[in-house]
Structure 1
Amino acid sequence: VRRWQPNQDWIWQPGGFGVFDPGINALSIATYILPAMYITSAVLDFPENRDAPIAAQVAFRAANGSDVTMDLDWLQTGPQSWDILADTDAGQMVLSGGGSKLAVDGRVVHEEPEAEYPMLYRRFAEVVRSGTSDVDLAPLQHVADAFMLGKRNVVEAFFD
């Protein structure tokens, strides 16, 4: 949070999502590439002086019976990581670098400069021009479910 959203108090307010703000990005990818899934448990760490979580561990079960986990932590220091790891019967996939690098079984198969937001804004412009809608509510539903089902831990106060 100190790196990407310093001094942005809105993110700590009710409805501000806390650590789930960047987690939505990962959930958007996960809900696109994985079978439908639902939350089986969650643990949310709320700083004693904030109304949104600074860390979360969420367990899911996919429709095909696979277990999926998500670990979000805004207390990470040093170089920031943004990784999605998928271990399957066919091998391991790692999406890293904000979605800019894809490796399968340790071999990089795609890499380009990080361009998440420029691509997103281009897509927004296309949708506005065409008068269409492009919405996936599943990531928001998962966040809402985590807040509803998750065990709340109170952790030490957080100050930017």
Structure 2
Amino acid sequence: MKIALVGIGKIAVDQHVPAIAGSTDWDLAATVSRHGKVDGIEAFTDLGAMLDARSDIRVVSLCLPPVPRFDYAMQALKAGRHVMLEKPPGATIAECHALEAAARRAGLSIYATWHSRHADMVAAAKEWLAGTALRALTVTWKEDVRRWHPGQAWIWEPGGLGVFDPGINALSIVTEILPDDIHVSEAELDIPENCQTPIGARIAFHHPGGARIGAVFDWRQDGDQTWEIEAQTDVGTLRLCEGGAVMEVDGIRTGDAAPLDGEYPRLYARMAQLVRKGEIDMDLRPMTLATDALALGRRIPTDTFHD
């Protein structure tokens, strides 16, 4: 199937383009970006122009920041194209529901992707936890924003999510591996004096079984980056490290892979499956937890941030 990639930034170049190139399901037929291009691929600077010129392209994959994503996605749906959304799927829950409703009315597929759910050890962790009684779960997600999001000012503006942009990856794993749904009970948010979104967060969650669940997100990490989830249960302790690429049970490693290895190819395989079956995948639980933390969180002013 022919696909167009919209928004040719770092994540598109590093992950989306190689995943499409390595897939037997997809043919990257066009790009849309004001600045970026992919060598050898027809490039447009306007989505409407691409949709008008390339009626043969059935699917549009959006790698834009979350705030403009709704308008682009709705434009593609109205043009009869299936839509794939980079995480988070939008700036608000309501607009994501509107996109899903539009896709259903048009008989089109739409996919809210969560790449961290496709890390190598996430499925194994979900299976292991299914037969246990959870006692506690701790998420530690700390990285250096300057390393991973250099010069991306939109993350500090309303709708940009701040530290929840990477933190939502952790929430996507947690909502996938836990048998029971959780919700935010309280949060603290570190907001730089010159920003609209948090650079750090501490969150407590309610678990229906009474397990203690908490998360710490921080974008000020120097040195080693930390992406870990530890679950204490009645039969032992499970740890997911490196964003879900490594799994340990009671300190014994049961499998591992390189971080991000295979995640984006699996997203595109899932999108191909949805299009062929005429289905929709719009799980918004990770975004619900993130936006609820932003709604409930107590704001704590902190030092100004300069990239």
Once the two structures are superposed, residues 98-150 of structure 1 have per-residue CA deviations (whole angstroms, 9 ceiling, x without a partner) of: 21101011000111222233333433343344432112111111111111111
| Counterpart residue number, 1:46 | 191
Instruction: Give the aligned length.
Output: 160
Q: Matched residue of 2:223: which SS?
A: coil
After TM superposition, the runs of 4+ consecutive aligned structure 1 residues lying more than 2 A away are: 116-131
Q: Matched residue of 2:168: which SS?
A: helix
| Counterpart residue number, 2:226 | 81
Partners in 2 of 1:134 and 1:47 — Cα distance? 35
Partners in 1 of 2:166 and 2:305 — Cα distance? 18
Partners in 2 of 1:99 and 1:90 — Cα distance? 20
Query: What TM-score comes out, normalization by structure 2 length?
Result: 0.50
Partners in 2 of 1:52 and 1:122 — Cα distance? 33
Over alpha carbons, which structure has the higher Rg?
A: 2
| Counterpart residue number, 1:21 | 165
Q: Of 214, 221, 245, which residue of structure 2 is paired with 1:100?
A: 245
Partners in 2 of 1:130 and 1:14 — Cα distance? 36
The share of aligned pairs that are identical, in percent, is: 48
Q: Matched residue of 2:266: which SS?
A: helix
Structure 2 letter corresponding to 1:25: N
Once the two structures are superposed, residues 43-65 of structure 1 have per-residue CA deviations (whole angstroms, 9 ceiling, x without a partner) of: 00011001110000000011111
| Counterpart residue number, 2:80 | none
| Counterpart residue number, 1:110 | 255
Once the two structures are superposed, residues 52-110 of structure 1 have per-residue CA deviations (whole angstroms, 9 ceiling, x without a partner) of: 10000000011111121010000001121111111122111111112110101100011
Q: Structure 1: which 5+ runs fail to align?
A: none
| Counterpart residue number, 1:7 | 151
Partners in 2 of 1:17 and 1:51 — Cα distance? 9
Are the structure 2 counterparts of residues 155 and 128 from structure 1 closer, same or farther at C-alpha, using a change threshold of 3 Å? farther
Partners in 2 of 1:30 and 1:86 — Cα distance? 10
Partners in 1 of 2:268 and 2:226 — Cα distance? 23
Q: Matched residue of 1:2: which SS?
A: helix
Query: What TM-score comes out, normalization by structure 1 length?
Result: 0.93
Matches within 5 A, 1:61-80: 61-80=206-225
RMSD: 1.4
Partners in 2 of 1:48 and 1:144 — Cα distance? 21
Q: Matched residue of 2:169: which SS?
A: helix
| Counterpart residue number, 1:148 | 295
Partners in 2 of 1:11 and 1:128 — Cα distance? 31
Conserved? CA contact 1:28–1:136, under 8 Å: no
Are the structure 2 counterparts of residues 8 and 129 from structure 1 closer, same or farther at C-alpha, using a change threshold of 3 Å? farther
Are the structure 2 counterparts of residues 128 and 5 from structure 1 closer, same or farther at C-alpha, using a change threshold of 3 Å? farther
Partners in 2 of 1:124 and 1:52 — Cα distance? 31
Conserved? CA contact 1:12–1:18, under 8 Å: yes
Structure with bigger helix share is 2
Partners in 1 of 2:272 and 2:195 — Cα distance? 35
| Counterpart residue number, 2:278 | 131
